[in-house]
Amino acid sequence: MRSDGARLAVREYGPAGGPVLVLVHGYPDEQSVWEPVAGILAARFRVVTYDVRGAGGSSRPRRTWAYRMEHLAGDLRAVIDAVSPDRPVHLVGHDWGSVQGWGAVTGDRVDGRVASFTSISGPCVEHFGQWVRDRLRRPTPRNLARLGGQFARSWYLAFGAIPGVANVAWRLGGARLFPIVVERTEGFERTPAPTFLKDAVHGVKLYRANALRFLRPGYLCRTDVPVQVIAPTRDAFVSPHQSLDLARYTDRLWRREIAAGHWGAVRRDPAAVAGWIAELVEHVEGAPEPPALRAARLPAAGGVLEGSGA
């Protein structure tokens, strides 16, 4: 299918009818990263994945501006309208798939077209910037420790933002080393797609195209979409602490922690992640809130319920 001049490679799983789930991958992945989770969910739902622009079988725009959030949201809207024209979908994102999911549900491109959003290892850019500024304004030992932990994880932002650095690194051995590093740090075998080097080189434009959004106030980015955050506690790139105060940006928020790394969250225990996604989908579709989901709900004031992992 096509969106804004870009060709998007789309796959569908599961039976027709009923709720539709759209799963969006991150960087430097393509849609196959979702196969374990999608295979489980497809027993109950219609599941859709697609290669975002710059990855897999989709188009690879050359201009950096083509990777701005508004274009990503336009792609998502085109996919939603094609696969579920008559009812809203349930959105799930990992890494940059989650980042662009936040950008979509806090903007106006998918108004009324998303019934719920599950975010995994990918914060809203504006919320992340606000989280950093809030802790710099109150430099308590706890806040500084959490900032230090995130900054230690954030080396890749400079890697992605400085023109040319990422391209050289990927081409001079990074593409070969990446699956080895993931396997040794997260404990599962990572087999890169045949398009991996191209995906890495083109997808890095996401960072440069959207870097200035970091400076926008977080309060501009609220949503009325129910949001579930799955926070891996061993994530080498995104601190789980960032998602503790997101209730100020949405009135309905659930938060769960999983003992996994960045990619392990969707690859090592897909049954757990698929189960949590299904619980939220069924509840938003009208089923009673199950006890496990209720225990993960955060209060609207932005505090943390007892036992939530704060």
CATH of the domain at 70: 3.40.50.1820
3-class state of residue 168 by DSSP: helix
3-class state of residue 191 by DSSP: coil
Side-by-side strand order, sheet with 227-232: 10-13, 46-50, 20-24, 89-94, 114-120, 227-232, 253-258, 297-298
Confidence of residue 306 (pLDDT cuts 50, 70, 90): very low
Asked if residue 28 has a cis previous peptide bond (ω within 30° of 0), the answer is: yes
Looking at residue 301, what is its pLDDT?
Answer: 53
Residue 158 lies in a domain: no
Backbone phi and psi for residue 98, each to the nearest 5 degrees, phi listed first: -75, -40
Q: Return d(Cα 195, Cα 182) in angstroms, integer.
A: 18
Residue 51 lies in a domain: yes
Q: Return d(Cα 64, Cα 293) in angstroms, integer.
A: 40
Q: What is the DSSP letter of 233?
A: T
* pLDDT for residue 308 is more than 50: no
224-257 burial string, b = 16+ CB within 10 Å, else e?
ebbbbbbbbeebbbbbbbbbbbbbebbebbbbbe
Query: Token digits for 193?
Result: 């797609």
Residue 160 lies in a domain: no
Going by C-alpha positions, the residue among 254, 233, 131 that lies closest to residue 186 is 233
Looking at residue 310, what is its pLDDT?
Answer: 33
Higher-pLDDT residue of 147, 78: 78
Q: How many domains does the chain have?
A: 1
Q: Quick: pLDDT tens for 230-250.
A: 999 999 899 999 899 899 999
Q: Quick: pLDDT tens for 110-164.
A: 999 999 999 999 999 999 999 999 999 999 998 899 988 887 777 666 666 677 7
Percent of the chain residues topping a pLDDT of 70: 95
Residue 309 lies in a domain: no
Q: What is the mean pLDDT of the chain?
A: 91
Residue 252 lies in a domain: yes
Higher-pLDDT residue of 225, 6: 225
Question: Could you list the residue range(s) of the whole structural domain that residue 103 is in?
Answer: 2-153+208-298
Looking at residue 49, what is its pLDDT?
Answer: 98
Least reliable range by pLDDT among 10-24, 172-186, 217-231, 285-299: 172-186
Q: Return d(Cα 243, Cα 238) in angstroms, integer.
A: 10
Residue 196 lies in a domain: no
Question: What number of other Cβ atoms are within 10 A of residue 269's Cβ?
Answer: 16
Residue 164 lies in a domain: no
Residue 113 lies in a domain: yes
Looking at residue 159, what is its pLDDT?
Answer: 65
Write out the DSSP string of 113-133.
TEEEEEEES---HHHHHHHHH
Q: How far is CA 280 from the centre of its chain?
A: 16
116-148 burial string, b = 16+ CB within 10 Å, else e?
bbbbbbbbbbbbbbbbbeebeeeeeeebeebbe
